Amino acid sequence: MKDKLADLLHPYVHGPGDIFGIEDVVSELRNNPTLVQRHFRLWLSSTAVLQSILNRDTLARSAHLGEDIAESAKTFATSDVFSRSATVLERHHFCLITGMPGIGKTTLAHMLIAAYMQEGYQVAEISRSVDEIYAVWDDSAPQVFYYDDFLGSSILADGLSKNEDNRLLRLIERVHRFSNKRLILTTREYLLQQARLEYERVALYDFDPASCAISLDDYTDEVRARIFYNHLYFSGLSAAERANLGSEQTYKEILDHHNFNPRLIQQSLAVSKTLSEDGRTASARLRRTLDRPDLLWDHIINNQLEPDCAILLSVLLTLKQPVALSELESSFTACTTMLGNVANSRAFTKALKLLNGTMIKSPSVESDSWVEFHNPSIRDYMQGYVKRSPLVIDALLKCAEYFEQISAIYSIAQVRFVESRPDFLTPHLSELVAACMRTMKKPPTLWHGLLTGNQEDEELLGNAVTALEIAHYYNLEELADWIGASIIELEAINLSAWELSSIDKVCEYLNVAILLEENHWEAPKVLETMRMLSDSMDKWIRRECVENWSGALYAQDLIDQHDLYYFIRLDTPEVVETVLRTIAQQWIDAINTPRSVTLLEDVYPDEVMKYIESYDNPADFFTGLEEAKRRAVELDLLPASTDGPSKGTAQARKSGASIIHAMMNSINERSDSDEVER
């Protein structure tokens, strides 16, 4: 084709090499991710390419999930909790797996996912918000959505966005309606309790029917023995070292220990392998780890690793993960130099190799690799470590290259769900202000850019929200006005081209700005931006959101959740309400029309019924309501009862149950075979 085209264009084209086909364009874009990041909207006409670019985070994580599942399968030992969670998932299409850190939530989720992967389900691993699920949702395709530690990655850092809790609950309801969808969430139990204290909608929602809590009581002596045996076998320790750890005296102490925990066993054995400890030392370490889990990383950092390792981990804590190896090295070098140490590629590579497999995960040390913490417990430890290290805080602020680093440090300072807040940043306010001004307008790290897909003005506003919160919290009026001036430079803001998560940021900015006005701050630029953004928000709602049911419903949630009544025109909420009421009545009329099952596009029956029943006396506002409800049940559009799944899922439950049963037989047969070989 290129040859023919080159002939037709001769002499203006010298040869086929001067012609770029779609493959060449895609290849160039893959080699220039920054270009994609800046101009991704050029690809809106191609759904396939658009998905691969906008959802690169989700797709990349999902592609590597198979490797993680294979690793989990090595140490997995089946128990009653597996069958319980499988039943919950099939009945509700959604399963919330809870439990203490390291108890096996992720491993259990991986095994459930493996069952559906064998049946041909598409898998999407989520890392940031439920919006990622909507980005890859396909009504016709069987899909499993997996969101590991979904509260740990948000609540302990930035907190859920003000509308995220509502979107999550709506997603759960939507997944429940589709027989070919499954949603698996995992979280630490105490984080779920904290979320219930912080977010009213989460507190009111009854997760119990779809919850599966893992506790030590689920691990019988036999299950504990299998877990320990599997971890020991795949630990990489020599046969002699494993024999020492597997002696009767040692394993009885471990299996009967009140702190028995799969992750602690894995971490302790991994550290022993990294430090080349003999069997006796490894055995002592494992017992000590179970006695005092909090001392594992503290002892390693302070006594057994070089200082560069602690610097690398501190820098990694401030960056969105996974982070490109080259970006991590650049930030590591800057921080090491700031602390007065020798910084070079050799020092970075050595620290990376020492930490890889124990405290961090990196497939390789090549320049195109990605790095992240090995598990959440290490992140938790490093947060405390950084808080106790004023010199490290000072260096991190002075050498920060990305605003996300400032946001991370500020988040560490904001301890949620407790009344008192340790204020370790106060001695560093001058460095904090300088770092905000230096980084707020700079592009994000590569992964963070791909994660959000934001345009430059969206990214700037998102950074400005955090910076304005910092200014308000630490009473920094000069910083606040500088932020306002930076937003004013945007001049015109077209919210129609923005992602929904960025719309939330506009609302958050307005709510922080109004606090400054109420406190009578001398920050005129902030007040000017408040007026500018209020006008943009009102126009966006009236022009974009009221075109259909989903848009109007989202606008109503946005207004209520963010309390936008102060910022938008007085009649705008009424305009939104009128649209919703009109469409709801049209749906009722369509249902009640004889021989008609034509429904409005994008209107889900249970969603519109939930809206209608939010009225105190819905029959006073909607004509033909009772007849419509009766017909909707007859047409299988609404369940006869709101308890349990709707009709049409029984076969799916039967199919899923058989998948899981077959999978477990396969695992057990494979385990028996492996044991014979061992």
**pLDDT single digits (tens) 88-109:** 999 999 999 988 878 899 999 9
What is the predicted pLDDT for the residue at 53? 38
Q: Which of 256, 158, 163, 244 is nearest to 216 (CA)?
A: 256
Residue 268 vs residue 53, higher pLDDT = 268
What are the structure tokens assigned to 594, written together? Answer: 């004889």
φ, ψ (nearest 5 deg) of residue 574: -70, -40
Mean pLDDT throughout 159-185?
79
Residue 54 has pLDDT above 60, yes or no: no
What are the structure tokens assigned to 167, written together? Answer: 């979107």
Lowest-confidence range among 59-68, 156-165, 363-372, 632-641?
156-165
Share of the chain above pLDDT 90, in %: 32
Residue 499 vs residue 337, higher pLDDT = 337
Sheet order of strands, 143-147 included: 122-126, 143-147, 181-188, 94-99, 211-214
Close Cβ partners of 206 (under 8 Å, ≥ 6 residues apart): none
Terminal alpha carbon distance of the chain: 57
CB 260 within 8 A of CB 340: no
What are the structure tokens assigned to 141, written together? Answer: 């395709």
Looking only at the bridges linking them, the beta strands covering 360-361 and 143-147 are: unpaired
What are the structure tokens assigned to 123, written together? Answer: 């898998």
How does DSSP assign 377-390, residue by residue? HHHHHHHHHHHT-H
| Maximum separation of any 2 CA atoms in the chain, in Å | 85
Share of the chain above pLDDT 70, in %: 81
Give the Cα separation of 417 and 401 in Å (integer): 30
Give the Cα separation of 367 and 364 in Å (integer): 9
Give the tens place of pLDDT for each residue, 229-243: 999 999 988 888 888
CB 55 within 8 A of CB 136: yes
Mean pLDDT rounded to a whole number for the chain:
80
Q: How far lies 358's CA from each of 313, 350, 448, in Å?
A: 12, 14, 24
Q: Which residues of 122-149 are buried (b: 16+ CB within 10 A; e: fewer)?
A: ebbbbbbbbbbbebbbeeeebbbbbbbb
Q: How far lies 397's CA from each of 282, 340, 357, in Å?
A: 38, 15, 28
Helix (H, G, I), strand (E, B), or coil: what is residue 144? strand
Name residue, tokens 């290259």. Answer: 401
Sorting pLDDT into bands at 50, 70 and 90, what band is 655?
Answer: very low
Looking only at the bridges linking them, the beta strands covering 323-324 and 370-373 are: antiparallel
CB 162 within 8 A of CB 504: yes
Mean pLDDT throughout 341-357?
85
Give the Cα separation of 464 and 523 in Å (integer): 14
Lowest-confidence range among 214-228, 265-279, 629-643?
629-643
Give the Cα separation of 323 and 357 in Å (integer): 16
Mean pLDDT throughout 435-458?
84
Give the tens place of pLDDT for each residue, 13-39: 787 778 877 677 767 766 665 454 444
Q: Cis (ω within 30 of 0) for the bond into 209?
A: no
Q: Return left, alpha or beta for 186; rule: phi > 0 is left, psi -120 to 50 is alpha, else beta.
A: beta
| Arch. (CATH architecture) of 56-218 | 3-Layer(aba) Sandwich (3.40)
CB 279 within 8 A of CB 245: yes
In 163-241 the beta strands, taken as DSSP E runs, fall at: 181-188, 211-214
Looking only at the bridges linking them, the beta strands covering 143-147 and 94-99 are: unpaired
Mean pLDDT throughout 451-463?
82
Give the tens place of pLDDT for each residue, 480-496: 999 999 999 887 777 88
Give the Cα separation of 281 and 277 in Å (integer): 6
How does DSSP assign 103-141, residue by residue? SSHHHHHHHHHHHHHHTT-EEEEESS-THHHHHH--TTS
Residue 409 has pLDDT above 90, yes or no: yes
Residue 52 has pLDDT above 50, yes or no: no
